[in-house]
Structure formats: C-alpha cells, structure tokens
Chains A and B, each alone.
Chain A
Amino acid sequence: MVSYIARRIGVSILILIAASFIMYVLAASSGDPLQDLEGSSSPNKQALIEARVHSQHLDLPAPVRWLLWLGGVARCVVPIGGGCDLGTTFQNQQVVQLLPQATAATVQLVMVAFVLAVVFGIALGIVTALRAYSGFDYSITLVSFFLFSLPSFLVAVLLKSFIALGYNNFLADPTLSPLALAIWGVLVGLIVQLIVGGAFRKRLLVFLITGALTALVLWFMSATQWFVRPSLGPVVVIVFCAAIGFGFVGLLAGLHNRKAWITAGINVGVAIVCYFGLQWLLNASTFGTLVILAVVAIVVGMLVGFFVGGYDRGLMMRIGALTAFFSAGVIVLDRLMRSWPAYMDITNDRPLATVGSSTPGLEGDVWISGLDTFTHFLLPTLSLLAISFASYTRYSRSGMLEVLGQDYVRTARAKGLPERTVIVRHAFRNVLIPITTLVATDIGALLGGAVITEYVFGISGMGQLFAAGLFRTDVNPIMGYFLVVAITAIAFNFLADLTYSVLDPRVRVR
C-alpha cells in the first residue's frame, strides 16, 4: 500500500511537470504578449515594452521561460533561496498572492452547487430508478438530456435575463395574479402526481389536492406580502421540524421503529424550545458562533440518540444528528429571512445581483452579509447546478437499475425484508460505490470548469484569472490557474481510486 502511494505520487509529479510544459508552451505561443502595448499611443511605449520584456523574460524562448517558471514552483516545495515564486502578471502582481483569493472565490462558488448537485442528483436518480419506465422517469430523462445539451453560458445568460430581472421586477409589485396562482398550482400538481404515480384515480386526487394546496399557500403568501417580508413564523417552523424528524425516521429506520420516533421527537422538541429561547443569541451571532451552534446541534442530536440507544444505537445517533442539524437549519433560515426587508432597503429593492460576488461597501451583521452572499451566488450556483445535476441523475439511475437486478437484492426481497430496508440498506449503499469515485473525480473537473460561469457573472475567481491571462497572453496567471486545477484533479483522482478500494473489498490497489 505504502509503495503504491509513493509510486503513484511520483508518477503524478512527473505527469504534472510534463503537462505544465505543454500548457506553458501552448499558452506562450497562443498570441503576442506585447499586442496591447504595441497598439498603445503612450509616449513611453518603447520603455513599457522593454520593461515587460525584461520582467517576463520575453527575450528568451518559451521552453527556457518554462524552466525558469518551474524553478520558481520548485521553491514552493523545497525551500532553497527565497520563497514560492509563480511569476508576476503584466501588472506586476505576484501570482502567489492572487491565487489564494481567486481559489477562495471559486471554491465558494463551486462548493454549494456541487453539494446540492450530488445530493439532489443522486436522490432524483434513485427515485427515477425505482419508478423506471414510468411517466416520471421519462420526464426526468427528458429534462436531464435537455440540461446535458445546454451550454453553460446559455444557462447563465438566461438566468440573468429571466430570473434576476424578472424577480426584481416582481418584487416591485409582489402580488401573484389568479392566473399565476393557477399556473403554479397546475405545475406543482402535475409534478407531484408524476412522482407519486399509481392508478389514474389516485393520481388525479393527488394532482387536485397538491395543486389546490399550492395555489392556496401562494395566495396566502401573496396576500400577506410574504415576498417582501418573508419569515417562517413559529407554526411553520414547528411543522418543518416535525416533517424533518418524520422524514428521517421514515427513511432511515422505518415508521414502526418506536426508539427512532423517540429520538427524533426529543430532538424536534429541543429544536422548538431553542427556537423560542435562543433568538437573542442568533441576533448577536457571527459566522463563527453559527458554526459552533451547528456543531452543538449535531452533538446534542447524537447524544440523544446515544441515550435512547436500543439495539441499533448507531442508527439512532445518525437519526438524532440529522434531525437536530436540519431543524437548526430551519431556525437559522427563519432568522435569515427576517433580515430580508433590511437587505431590500440596502439594495434599493432590487436584491438579486447579476454580477460580482458581493455588494461593494456593504455594512451589516452576519445575516445581512449572508443574504448578500446568497443573492450574489444564487444564479451562478443555479447555472452550475443545472448542468452537473443532470449527469448525477443519469449515473445514479443506471447504477440503481443495475444493482436492483443483482442477486443479493433479490435475496433481500425474497427473505421478506421491507422494501425500505432493501432499497436503503442493500441497494443504495452499493450504488454509492461507483458514484463516490465519480464525485471525487468531478471535484477536480468542477474547479476548472467554472470558467464560463465566472466569466458571465463577473466573479473574480480562478476562471477570471485564466481568461484574463489568456486574452493578454499573460502566461503566469494561466499557469497559476493550471497548477491549482491540475493538482486538485490529480489529488482527487488518487483519492477516488483509494476510496474505491476501501469501499469495495473486491478491488485491491497494487
């Protein structure tokens, strides 16, 4: 194992060096680095050109410059004479200093989209596999093919033009017309009846009930000016927390499991008490205390599960932790929503942003800045989500279909296990094995693939660094970008192989 890892790292470094050479030479020969200066009318044009030639070593051929660059990179790893040096941009900024900010912005952008895409993609894929060759399956297949075929810039431009402008305009007069209510009701009803499936009568009933309910809720929200002053309020918070507890019990333990009910019930109760008792703490919160509160919630949940115990203590702890964490999430969401009117005032009633990653000069507590991040990252996240989400749906659907045909699933069914146990414990875990690999591989690709989204939404992340560098044939920022993306890709590929061998004992690394 150790020799495998050592060998793998050695090979990876060699691959990285060779790829960086190709990258450097390609980037350096892709255009004229002096183009902007030669076209300029500045009186000291000649001096500027000479300064750039001197600082970027443009008088040397590209392979030699690559060697110089490689020497700088080597000093990042081996501390000989001076620190890390990835060269400078044309504006004489150190790439080493630019990279951390850019990486942070990109990671911030990519993380949420990635997590959501994985969670929802897999969940939807599983559901479509369980309802294979039904109307729901075909609709989702069609939608995911459609999303596959959408170029990311198209999604981004559409979101900017429709969601951002449309929503901001809607907020100017936040009442839904009867027609809009009817459309939303029909839409939600159609989708839900597709998911539920079954006989025609049942579907019609589901359609009518959910459709009417949706229209009613939306009408209520519209009538109470909810879109301008959103909040959940105690009733909805209690309902949501209870639903979360119910959901996790039903999913992980089965509704007959009394211990699970007790665990979830205690946690939901604690959450509701906290909702009424801890608002003062939330008002004074910073980002750090919120993280601490989240950790506390998880620990409390696990403790409750531990003490309720029973024959399946681990399961109770999982249920407890998940219920507590998500209930806490509902409470935080409620608090966040109540800052919305104040945030609307700051942004002149046009809250959804189309460019940048934060409102310049924004002052406010953690809730205001949280909302600011939300409004800036909502659309880029959606556009990244739309694209990667589709592939996870497809993969987990086909994986689930394959696993459901295996003999051990048939055995589990045959010995009379409830369907929930068969799906969650026997099938789902095995579906996760290949998907874990896919997920790990995708992280590397995702970091590098956000170039277009960053470009369209004006987020100054790594993609921006790369695109701007390429427009000017400024090689050093391009190479900085490449280093980060390539190292992530290699590292996560490596991780994927290792996790695979851990998860699937049939696979052994050599």
Chain B
Amino acid sequence: MSTIQGNLPEPGLDGAGMTDADTGAKGESQGRIILRRFLKNKVAVAALIVYLLVLIFSISAIGLGPVHGWWPYSYKQLNPQVNQGAPTLRLWPFSFGAHPFGQDRIGKDYFALTMRGIQNSVLVMIVLGVFATVVGVIVGAIAGYFRGWVDAVLMRITDIFIVIPALVVGAIVGRTANGLGAFGLAALLALVSWMVIARLVRSEFLALREREFVEAARVAGASDARIIFRHILPNAVGVIIVASTLLIASAILLETAISYLGFGIKAPDSSLGLLISLNQSAFTTRPWLFWWPAVFIVLLALCVNFVGDGLREAFDPRQQRFSLRRTREPEPTEADAALAQAGAAGPGDGSGGAGA
C-alpha cells in the first residue's frame, strides 16, 4: 500500500487518545499498522485461516479443471450405492470410508459434489467481489472526482440499478446466463452489485478531493488520472476493502439463493445452494444431503463476515478505541461534574449535536 505518509485512512480522524502503535510513531507504513491491527483480532485471523483451509481442502480433494485431486470419485460419475447412501465418515477412529458425506439418490459421491459446490461458491464470491469492486470504484471515483454533470449522470445510473432488488436481477441474470457456468454467472451478477461500493467511493472522493495533498498534486502538474489513482484512491482503500468484503459475504448468499430457486448453476455442475434445493425433499429420509452443503454455506459466509468485521476494525479503529476508553475510564470525578454543570444549561435532549 503506497499511501502518502501522514494521511490517515479516515478523513477528519483526530489523533487524540491514540496510542503510539496506532499512529505509527515508530515510523511504520500505514499498511503495516493496519495489518498488525488486523492480526491482533484473533477471531478474524482464525476465520481467514479456516476459509483458506476449506478452500485448499476442496481444491486438493477433487482437483481443479483437468488436474485430479486425491479423492478417487468425481462429482459427475455414478457409483453403486454403499450402505444406502449413508455417510461413511467416522471421527473416531478417523476414517473417510467409501463415501464420507454419503451419496445422493442416483449414487453420486456427495463429498465430491460438496467440494465442487464449495469451489463454485468461492469462485462466485471472488469473481463477483473483484468485478463489482472494480466497476464500483471506477464509477464512484469518476463521479466523486469530477462532480457536476458527470456525477449527476453516474449517480442516477447507480440509482437505476439500486431500484431493482438484487435477488430479482440475480434470478433474471442467472437464468439468462444459463450455461455460462459459475464464472459467467458471477461476472453478470457483479454488473448488478457494484452500487454500494460506487456510492461509498464517491462520498470518500468528495471529501478527499478537497484536501491539501490533492491541491499540491494538482499544482505540481499531475494529471486527473494520476491524482485519482495515485493520490486519492490509496486513501480510500480502507472503505473499499471493507465494503467489498461485506459484498463478498452477501455474494455467497445471493448465489446460493439463486441456485436454490433454480436460476443459477445447473446440474450436473454443483453448487451449495443447488444441492440443498435438489435434496430438501429428502430431509427426513436422508438428512445428510441437506446438512453438508448447509454447514459449508454457513461456514464460508461466517468466515467472510468475521474477516470483514476484523478489517473494518483495523481500518477504522474509532469505535474500538472509544469503547476501550469507556470501559477503562473511572467514573467522572466531582471536579468534572462541576465543570460540566457550569457549562450545561438545562436538561436538553442533546439532539443539537454539540460534537458536530
């Protein structure tokens, strides 16, 4: 992160109450400070590790594309029913057995199907996240930087997309993308998910473009593109990363919902939402067909949510800092009370916002 030194990620952030480590008094770069704050958040780091482990596990198990993994069955092949398709996974002593997650009604190995579903869901998350972020950043940056009629036009276009519920467009797009596979579906879904990021980036740019360092860059003769991408964008990166993480978390829910409705990824390919949709009628007879994909959807979404929350706290420590201060602060002393009483007039409800 090549941030201009001395610019905090959050405009208007005053340094009061920050520890040395927070302000980077040791001369650390901003990226390092944020990384360290993130690493301090045990839950977020654990979530990130679990997410990566699940991903690596699923890729190594059934391979990627033409490469084969260590698991003998593919998610397409039909196998004879073992033990009426019940899961053979044993935790103690640990053994996979023939079909650890069981088999579906026509004998497909459910472990392979689930792993393929994880791969597709993660693919959708990443592709959607990256595409939507890129589109959102470009639209928001241009609108916020140039303002005027460019801003008006771009924001009205954004409004047009916001009016349509994501699930609805998702379902229609998913149906249109029939046969494009996970990648195509994700790319098309990204075209209708970038609006939140565009709005956030725009408001960041509106604030940042008035700052002195932008003025300085302009006086030094930097082009608009250079100012946007080299000077302003690095300062808005916190907001963008956090927003796109949360977008990714909602992406897996969107994809599974669309696949559940039958408009997303189609059999014989596999998706976690599709697996639940296909097998929910078997809930009472073969509950594992329902449970495995359900567990992995929740696990993946939970991990991304925790990582997003950790990033948010790392980039914007205001809330955290305040709370710690509050919990450690002694009760107001009498001197404080007297001082406040002198300045306070009446028990107004405080909506005037003295702190503004």
A-B pairs with beta carbons under 8 A, tally: 183
A146-B280 Cα distance, complex, nearest whole Å: 21
Binds B, one of A11-19, A75-83, A238-246: A11-19
Contact A485 B165 (CB under 8 A): yes
Q: Which residues of B contact A467 (CB under 8 A)?
A: 171, 261
Contact B332 A145 (CB under 8 A): no
Point out the residue from A157, A405, A466 that lies within 8 Å of B168, measured CB to CB. Answer: A466
Proximity bits, B38-60, A CB within 8 Å = 1, else 0: 00000000000000000000000
Q: Nearest residue in A to B254 (C-beta to C-beta)?
A: A151
The answer to whether the Cβ of B330 comes within 8 Å of any Cβ in the partner chain is no
Contact B354 A132 (CB under 8 A): no
The answer to whether the Cβ of B5 comes within 8 Å of any Cβ in the partner chain is no
Binds B, one of A321-329, A356-364, A449-457: A449-457
A407-B352 Cα distance, complex, nearest whole Å: 11
Given A15-B160, A157-B290, A415-B341, A470 and B263 touching (CB < 8 A)?
yes
Point out the residue from B159, B283, B305, B354 that lies within 8 Å of A149, measured CB to CB. Answer: B305
A152-B178 Cα distance, complex, nearest whole Å: 23
Q: Nearest residue in B to A422 (C-beta to C-beta)?
A: B350
The answer to whether the Cβ of B337 comes within 8 Å of any Cβ in the partner chain is yes
Q: Which residues of B contact A429 (CB under 8 A)?
A: 349-351
Contact A145 B159 (CB under 8 A): no
Q: Which residues of B contact A409 (CB under 8 A)?
A: 350
Proximity bits, A409-450, B CB within 8 Å = 1, else 0: 111111111000100011001100100000000000100110
Contact B249 A449 (CB under 8 A): no
Proximity bits, A361-399, B CB within 8 Å = 1, else 0: 000000000000000000000000000000000000010
The answer to whether the Cβ of A115 comes within 8 Å of any Cβ in the partner chain is no
Contact A410 B340 (CB under 8 A): yes
Q: Which residues of A contact B263 (CB under 8 A)?
A: 470
Proximity bits, B280-309, A CB within 8 Å = 1, else 0: 100110000010001001100110011001
Q: Which of B135-187 contact A (CB under 8 A)?
A: 156, 159-165, 167-169, 171-173, 175-176, 178
A401-B249 Cα distance, complex, nearest whole Å: 24
Q: How far is the CB of A387 from chain B (nearest CB, A)?
A: 9
Q: How far is the CB of A322 from chain B (nearest CB, A)?
A: 19
Q: Which of A446-491 contact B (CB under 8 A)?
A: 448-449, 451-452, 455, 466-467, 470-471, 478, 481-482, 485-486, 489-490
Question: Which secondary structure characterizes the binding site on chain B?
Answer: helix
The answer to whether the Cβ of B344 comes within 8 Å of any Cβ in the partner chain is yes
Point out the residue from A406, A466, A478, A485 that lies within 8 Å of B354, measured CB to CB. Answer: A406
A sample of 16 more A-B contacts (CB under 8 A), given A29-B176, A148-B249, is: A15-B160, A15-B163, A30-B176, A31-B175, A132-B327, A146-B302, A148-B305, A153-B276, A402-B318, A410-B340, A413-B332, A414-B344, A426-B349, A433-B351, A452-B261, A467-B261
Q: Can you list 30 A-B pairs with a CB-CB distance of less than 8 A?
A: A16-B163, A22-B160, A23-B164, A26-B173, A29-B176, A30-B173, A132-B326, A132-B327, A133-B323, A148-B301, A149-B253, A149-B298, A151-B260, A151-B301, A152-B257, A153-B257, A153-B276, A157-B283, A157-B290, A408-B354, A409-B350, A411-B350, A415-B341, A425-B349, A430-B353, A451-B168, A451-B261, A470-B175, A482-B164, A485-B168
